[in-house]
Amino acid sequence: MRPETPACAGGCAPTGRREFLGRVTTALGAIMLGFSATAREAAALPFALGEALAVEGDEVSYPLPAADGATIDRKNEIILVRWKGHVYAFNLSCPHQNTALKWLASDGRFQCPKHKSKYQPDGTFMSGRATRNMDRFAVKKSGKNVVVNVARLFESDKQKAPWESARAAV
Ligand code: FES
């Protein structure tokens, strides 16, 4: 069974059973002086709302993203990210108090709307009240798809090695 997560609170995108929505190109603002190279690269990451191809037991399948970008599947509470040669699947909930995370286009990173914790596109904690990275699901490639195992959710502070390996090379 999937670990329980609360319904999205504040900042969730609309739910739907629609086919994948077209990608929404992020509007990029001016990059502030001193912005890190990582943030500059991440700022180009496109964002989309989407839904799974299939759900079978604990496995949720998505098309392998063709390019770097982030997709939020609100129904299954999963964020799928392709970034720098890997695919990641995150729990939509912030690891601090379970608020639904948002992609902050202007800064090229995830941010929690509740207490403003910030995370890189690979889920690495940057700042804020959270005490760990975004929680990662086990993920694997399967042909042209990505399969997320929602029964295997890793917390970086308690399961460091599994958390670090919870990604698939693309
Ligand atoms: S709920 Fe996300 S930082 Fe507190």
Q: Give the domains, in start order, of the chain with CATH numbers.
A: 47-169 (2.102.10.10)
* pLDDT tens, position by position, 52-87: 999 999 999 999 999 988 999 999 999 999 999 999
Cβ neighbours, 10 Å, residue 45:
20
Identity of residue 110? F
pLDDT in tens, 100-133: 999 887 777 999 999 999 999 999 999 999 999 9
Q: How far is the CA of 82 from the centre of ligand 1 (A)?
A: 24
Report the pocket of ligand 1 as residue ranges, CB < 6 Å.
94, 96-97, 99, 112, 114-115, 117, 128-130
Does pTM surpass 0.85? Answer: no
Ligand 1 atom closest to Cα of residue 95: 2
In the block, residue with structure tokens 């399961």: 159
Distance (angstroms) between ligand 1 centre and the Cα of 73 equals 20
**Residue in this structure with the two tokens 């998505």, named with its chain if needed:** 62
Beta strands in the chain (DSSP E): 47-49, 54-56, 59-63, 69-73, 78-83, 86-91, 102-104, 109-111, 118-119, 125-127, 136-142, 145-154, 168-169
